[in-house]
Amino acid sequence: MAGKVAVVGLKFACAPDLKTTRERLVFELTRGLFDELGIDRHEVDTFIMCSNDFIDGRTISTVFLDAPSGAYLKDETKVEMDGLNALIYGWMRILSGQYDTALVVSLGLTGSQASPYLNIQYSLSPTYERQVGLLNELAGAALQARSYLSRSGYSEELLDLVAAKDLQLAAKNPRQGRRLEAVDVDKVRSSDYYYEPLRELHCYPRTDVGCVVLLASEKKAAELTEKPVWILGAGNSIETYFYGERDLSRSPSAAEATRRACSLAGISDPSKEIDFAEVSALFAHQEPLLAESMSLIPEGEAEKAYRDGITGPGGSMPINPSGGSLGGHTVCAGGLLRLCEAVLQIRGEAGPVQLEKAGTALVHGQDGLCAQQNAVLILGA
């Protein structure tokens, strides 16, 4: 496999309401990034757009975003999934040797413009699940949570511990969307039930996000930044759609995606060789569930790991030091938010939530109900 590819620049915005239009958001992010790096749009060889038509409320929703992104009369395409997959595509294009730079442009205005739950709703079969009308993103997640707690023998309190940790970190992180004051397990536990055992503060908030990430080949990276963050490996995997046939207590596709990514990165034991992880856990239970499936924590030891602070910023396997998806998440741009936070950590630019040891990271993104499909990247300094 030819050469290496690095993240050389990024810019993102994350808030409950960005009070902007899609075009303006994308323009300000790309223009801002180009100005910071001292480049113009002609130094970008290919543009990978990433947004969701149903959430944007338009067919081919990036038609009006190409020009504001700088893609006018340039090579452009669109991946319509979690943004980590758009990044993987950019990575592939550079690895092919035909491009030196790729800009991933992604957004989802599910705070102010559209309900994020529509993403899953419209992905359900129009000839069965949607007609029966019982399954939705929240109910599905709740059943997954119960299945996980039941099989593992963990208490519901684990959900509160995870949520409190994430929301406290998000409160410290100026880049996050949901920053609550004085949040602790009691405050989490006092929020209303959605579908038991999931409460409001166990679930990701409605957020507006825009995010652009610039990738460059090894030779070009040196011109653009002093702190390139390298893509060491990536993987993607998918499970069956049929909800009743899945083992909801685990994520076999997250495990497979991790195996593939680690194999490319030359990592044999993630729990030892990964310094920290940014995981798209949309619901509190998904963080330990995914962490176990991705071999960051041994299966069966998650509750202990959270109680002992192993997954906190001072522990040996910090998970979501940024506050994670419970601090802000949207379709498409969600996984890229996690990636950006991981890149900032590795560059030593994470500010109030900076970890001491941040050399190698695992970044994760998901698509579909209860993470039916998962993408994993390994990043390194």
Which span (33-41, 125-133, 157-165, 175-183) binds other proteins, by CB under 8 A? 125-133
- Name residue 148's amino acid: Y
Residue 158 or residue 369: which is nearer to other proteins going by CB?
A: 369
Residue ranges in 303-332 that form contacts with other proteins under rule CB under 8 A: none
DSSP string spanning 129-188?
HHHH----HHHHHHHHHHHHHHHHT--THHHHHHHHHHHHHHHH-TT-S---TT--HHHH
Among 35, 40, 117, 307, binds other proteins (CB under 8 A): 117
Among 35, 36, 40, 67, binds other proteins (CB under 8 A): 67
Residue ranges in 205-244 that form contacts with other proteins under rule CB under 8 A: 235-244
**CB 103, CB 213: distance < 8 Å:** yes
Q: Which residues, at least 6 apart from 42, have a Cβ–Cβ distance to it below 8 Å? A: none
Residue 50 or residue 169: which is nearer to other proteins going by CB?
A: 50
Report the alpha-carbon distance of residue 146 to residue 286 in Å, rounded: 11
CA atoms within 13 A on the CB side of 230: 14
Among 127, 174, 226, 356, binds other proteins (CB under 8 A): 127
Q: Taking the CB of residue 222, how many other CB atoms lie within 10 A of it? A: 13
Q: Applying CB under 8 A, does 263 fall inside the site for other proteins?
A: no
Tell which residue, 20, 365, 14, has the closest CA to residue 210. Answer: 14
Among 143, 180, 185, 381, binds other proteins (CB under 8 A): 143
Q: Which residues, at least 6 apart from 186, have a Cβ–Cβ distance to it below 8 Å? A: none
Residue 172 or residue 260: which is nearer to other proteins going by CB?
A: 260
Shortest Å, Cβ 50 to other proteins:
10
Residue ranges in 341-380 that form contacts with other proteins under rule CB under 8 A: 367-369, 372-373
Q: Applying CB under 8 A, does 2 fall inside the site for other proteins?
A: yes
Residue 134 or residue 182: which is nearer to other proteins going by CB?
A: 134
Residues contacting other proteins: total by CB under 8 A: 93
Tokens of 299: 């299966």
Q: Applying CB under 8 A, does 282 fall inside the site for other proteins?
A: no
Instruction: Annotate each residue in 178-197 with x if it binds other proteins (CB under 8 A) or - if it does not, as one string.
Output: --------------xxxxxx
Residue 12 or residue 91: which is nearer to other proteins going by CB?
A: 91
Q: What's CA 299's distance to the chain center, in Å?
A: 22
Shortest Å, Cβ 76 to other proteins:
4
Q: Which residues, at least 6 apart from 165, have a Cβ–Cβ distance to it below 8 Å? A: 306, 311, 312, 320
Among 35, 125, 190, 219, binds other proteins (CB under 8 A): 125
Residue 322 or residue 372: which is nearer to other proteins going by CB?
A: 372
Q: Which residues, at least 6 apart from 337, have a Cβ–Cβ distance to it below 8 Å? A: 12, 14, 209, 211, 325, 328, 329, 330
Instruction: Annotate each residue in 29-58 with x if it binds other proteins (CB under 8 A) or - if it does not, as one string.
Output: ------------------x----xxx--xx
Shortest Å, Cβ 243 to other proteins:
7
E strand or H helix that includes residue 335: helix 333-346
Listed in order, strand segments (DSSP E) in 256-372 are 276-278, 360-367
